[in-house]
Amino acid sequence: MAAFAARTGKRVRPHAKTHKSPLIARMQLDRGAIGLCCAKLGEAEILADAGVGPVLITTEIAGEPKIARLVVLRRRAEVMAAVDDMDVARSLSDAMRAAGLVLDVLVDVNIGQERTGVRPDGAGELSACVASLPGLQFRGIQAYDGHLQHVYGEAERHAKWRESADRMLAARDDVLGRGLEVEILSTAGTGTCAFAAELSEVTELQAGSYPFMDCDYGRVEGLPYESSLTVLTSVVSRQRGDVAVLDAGWKAISTDAGVPVVKGRSELAYTTKGDEHGGVHGARMTPGERIELIPSHCDTTVNLYDEYVCMRHGVVEGVWPIAARGRIQ
């Protein structure tokens, strides 16, 4: 990713929601990242406490308790927030002004994910509102295309990205038409960052999964990243014929994007067997035998664990805490 950024001239603001680790965040900053993205306020607090930043919180902050926490965070850290609602912008303005602070803001635009974000034709009006409010500093647009990251075929993914990109550029034009500068245009994930680099208007990329990947991302064509994240499991029973029972069920590996695959053992297939157990079939295995599973979704699997055991060529080189595990508020 660092080489890609250097080659294309695009800045990278990696998403820490994937790794939830200040240590990995520092490694990304050392390799040229301009800051980090966080999905939740709690993650941003962990990074700030570790002295890591600047941080962009990509999910809207709304309601008095969270806005109060954001004010406290802003006092000690360089932080930027995304906004998709005028009333929320006014609440943020009031809180920051009362605290004598200024908060950098990106207007969040919906370009097809249908989650958060204002319509592209409403970006100008909301941006003008933000720019007019004391305590807020309008910096640009966030236009995340998360719905495209796991479109497997490269040609299909590019065609669908082009449609979303047109919406993003229309939003930018709407903002420019209000006489405002779009200093930041933040977009793209691991599956679309190469496409976003085609656009001179894009200033930064929000890719998150690229350090780890997962078996679902492994099906996405045209990506240069390899899988590095596995869950180590053990066989605990072989009483079910050719199905070996493992100590890794739903509590140990997420299945929201499908079941994991067995690393280096293409003849083995994983099957779910409840909260505590999974199974593999395809070969006779021995109780105590260990295998590695590549999860189908790295983000949600990481959130199940307290630490990474870091290995190179079979040798443990470090144990890193997952400091922001569970910080989902």
Q: What does the DSSP assignment read for 151-218?
A: --SHHHHHHHHHHHHHHHHHHHHHHHTTT----EEEE--TTTHHHHTT-TT--EE---STTT--TTGG
Q: Considering only CA atoms, which of 305, 329, 312 is closest in space to residue 21? A: 305
**Is the Cα torsion angle 273, 278, 282, 287 positive or negative in sign?**
negative
According to the model, what pLDDT value does residue 80 have?
Answer: 98
CA 74 centroid distance within chain? 21
Divide the 329 residues of the chain into consecutive groups of 10 and give the mean pLDDT of each group.
Answer: 96 98 98 98 98 97 98 98 98 98 98 97 98 98 98 98 98 98 98 97 98 97 97 94 93 96 95 96 92 97 98 96 96
Q: What element of type H or E holds 65?
A: helix 64-76
Asked if residue 15 lies in contact with residue 82, where contact means CB atoms within 8 angstroms, the answer is no
According to the model, what pLDDT value does residue 202 have?
Answer: 98
According to the model, what pLDDT value does residue 85 have?
Answer: 98
Domains identified in the chain and CATH numbers: 2-219 (3.20.20.10), 236-321 (2.40.37.20)
Q: Hey, what are 312's tokens? A: 């190179």
Q: Considering only CA atoms, which of 8, 11, 16 is closest in space to residue 210? A: 16
Q: Considering only CA atoms, which of 184, 1, 207 is closest in space to residue 80? A: 184
Q: Considering only CA atoms, which of 295, 297, 145, 150 is closest in space to residue 221? A: 150
Asked if residue 249 lies in contact with residue 272, where contact means CB atoms within 8 angstroms, the answer is yes
Place of tokens 């991302």: 217
Expressed in percent and rounded to 5, the helix, strand and coil fractions of the chain are 30, 25, 45
Place of tokens 């906004």: 83
CA angle 13, 28, 310 (to 5 degrees): 135
According to the model, what pLDDT value does residue 242 have?
Answer: 85
> Which amino acid does the sequence have at 134?
P
User: Cis (ω within 30 of 0) for the bond into 211?
Assistant: no
Place of tokens 């500093």: 137
According to the model, what pLDDT value does residue 99 have?
Answer: 98
Q: What element of type H or E holds 3?
A: helix 2-8
